[in-house]
Amino acid sequence: MPERAHKIFRILTLNQISPLGLKLFSSSHYKVGSDTTEPDAILVRSHNMLDMDIPPSVKAIGRAGAGTNNVPVSAMNLRGVPVFNAPGANANAVKELVLAGLLIASRNLIPAIHFTEKLEGDNETLNRLSENGKKQFAGIELPRRTLGIIGLGAIGRLVADAALRLGMKVMGYDPNITVDAAWNLSSEVKRAESIEDLLRNSEFVTLHVPLLDSTRHLVNRQVVQSMRNSTILLNFSRDGIVDENAVLEGIEMGKIKYYVSDFPSEKLQHHARVITLPHLGASTQEAEENCAVMVTKQVIDYLENGGITNAVNFPNITMERESPYRLAVANANVPNMVGQISTAMAKAGLNIHTMGNKSRGEMAYTLVDVDSPVPQETIDEIAAIKGVLNVRYLPVPAK
């Protein structure tokens, strides 16, 4: 029978994670480090895990941020491993950088700064050269101009609010908007029927969608053609959402005045009409702390209690502990799984105290609390059921 002793969980960090989050891992129960072998869980920010050999010991992955396109989520589905993220935890940081991008581009600040940097002479000369040269950097103001927002989730919504407060008109496009996001969206945001509808009406366009198969090259040649002349395009989502060749053509044709992107790329480097930042969207103390704390709490609850909150591939499920013996079963979302799990438990004479089962897409998850210890043979029998991906026994450790 498995012992009811404190297990030491091993956590591997693949990026720098805020210490405010890491300190939630108590040193008596957790070993945390960037060199941890046989990890129970991995914490990651932008490190590319797509080609990584993820050890079989891994039971959970925590992405201290929003986008999970750097994590092999489908491969983790096959293992029944939840991939957690931190929805909304860095949204304000991104919103602020988008506002900076809007202002930098609308006032031609990058070429203006370069111009001033190159000036030489005494104060009188600098003053004369500045006054003579400044007309080439005259910009536009934001009030009454339209910002088109593609993707109205955590970030898009905050950008909409901020733009409205700056006196802009806002148009939004998001065919998959969640009920929560829709409730939180200002009624002043005009709904675009299509991306083309949004582009026809917007002087500024900002992208806030995840990188998925369906959003790769969302901004392509055809989309660029639909833009108004001199559109300022902002991309703080992911580089893959934009076809860079289409952007370069759009700049040539006068469709795009500036492309402001958080993702440097070889093709766009040193282009006078491209402003790039080094993926700085979430790099504030507050966002780093929020993300680390949120995702660490979720990973701890999963490892210790089997609770799932904010996994991108599993349903949310938490269950109060009403008895000390708990099984957590990840399985494929196919018929009769719960029946087979309960039959195996009944065969061992186990009395089920509470049971919770939820599914999402192809994944399902079952938490079962029983009144007495679960024998290893029963765990093995459940693990052998076709469709079961993993079984974890999570007894409350003896004091």
Ligand X SMILES: NC(=O)C1=CN([C@@H]2O[C@H](COP(=O)(O)OP(=O)(O)OC[C@H]3O[C@@H](n4cnc5c(N)ncnc54)[C@H](O)[C@@H]3O)[C@@H](O)[C@H]2O)C=CC1
Ligand Y SMILES: O=C(O)CCC(=O)C(=O)O
> Which residue ranges make up the site for ligand X (CB under 6 A)?
65-67, 87, 90-91, 94, 150-156, 173-177, 181, 208-211, 214-215, 218, 236-238, 262, 279, 281-282
What does 21 bind: ligand X, ligand Y, none (CB cut-off 5 to 8 Å by kind)?
none
Residue span 88-117 as binding mask against ligand Y, x where in contact by CB under 6 A, dash where not = --x---------------------------
| Whole-angstrom distance, CA of residue 330 vs CA of residue 194 | 39
Taking alpha carbons only, the member of 236, 233, 216, 215 closest to residue 278 is: 236
Does position 66 interact with ligand Y (CB under 6 A)? The reply is: yes
| Whole-angstrom distance, CA of residue 122 vs CA of residue 124 | 6
Does position 45 interact with ligand Y (CB under 6 A)? The reply is: yes
What does 173 bind: ligand Y, ligand X, none (CB cut-off 5 to 8 Å by kind)?
ligand X
Does position 242 interact with ligand Y (CB under 6 A)? The reply is: no
CB of 239 to ligand Y, least distance (A): 11
CB of 191 to ligand X, least distance (A): 12
345-353, long-range: CB < 8 A, 24+ apart:
345/370, 345/374, 345/378, 345/382, 347/378, 347/381, 348/374, 348/375, 348/377, 348/378, 350/374, 350/378, 353/322, 353/323
Tokens standing for 355?
Answer: 């049971």
Does position 293 interact with ligand Y (CB under 6 A)? The reply is: no
What does 160 bind: ligand Y, ligand X, none (CB cut-off 5 to 8 Å by kind)?
none
Binding segment (CB under 6 A) for ligand Y, from list 62-70, 101-109, 293-301, 326-334:
62-70
Please state the three-class secondary structure of 354-367 as a single string. Answer: EEEEEEECCEEEEE
| Whole-angstrom distance, CA of residue 84 vs CA of residue 314 | 9
Pick 64 or 367: Cβ nearer ligand X: 64
Taking alpha carbons only, the member of 243, 192, 197, 254 closest to residue 221 is: 243
Taking alpha carbons only, the member of 316, 395, 378 closest to residue 341 is: 378
CB of 33 to ligand Y, least distance (A): 19
Q: Which residue is nearest to ligand Y (CB)?
A: 65
Q: Which residue is nearest to ligand X (CB)?
A: 153
DSSP string, 86-120: -TTTTHHHHHHHHHHHHHHHHTTHHHHHHHHHH--
What does 152 bind: ligand X, ligand Y, none (CB cut-off 5 to 8 Å by kind)?
ligand X
Taking alpha carbons only, the member of 299, 274, 294 closest to residue 282 is: 294
Pick 46 or 340: Cβ nearer ligand X: 46
Does position 248 interact with ligand Y (CB under 6 A)? The reply is: no
Pick 40 or 174: Cβ nearer ligand X: 174
Strand partners, 198: none
Pick 88 or 111: Cβ nearer ligand Y: 88
Residues 6+ apart with CB under 8 A from 291: 18, 21, 45, 64, 65, 86, 89, 90, 282
The full length of the chain comes to 399
Binding segment (CB under 6 A) for ligand Y, from list 59-67, 141-149, 297-305, 306-314:
59-67
Does position 284 interact with ligand Y (CB under 6 A)? The reply is: no
What does 236 bind: ligand X, ligand Y, none (CB cut-off 5 to 8 Å by kind)?
ligand X
CB of 132 to ligand X, least distance (A): 38
What does 156 bind: ligand X, ligand Y, none (CB cut-off 5 to 8 Å by kind)?
ligand X
| Whole-angstrom distance, CA of residue 231 vs CA of residue 196 | 13
Size of the site for ligand Y (CB under 6 A): 9
Does position 282 interact with ligand Y (CB under 6 A)? The reply is: yes
Pick 204 or 236: Cβ nearer ligand X: 236
DSSP 17: -
Q: What are phi and psi of 271, to 5 degrees?
A: -80, 135
What does 237 bind: ligand Y, ligand X, none (CB cut-off 5 to 8 Å by kind)?
ligand X
Residues that bind ligand Y (CB under 6 A): 45-46, 65-67, 90, 281-283
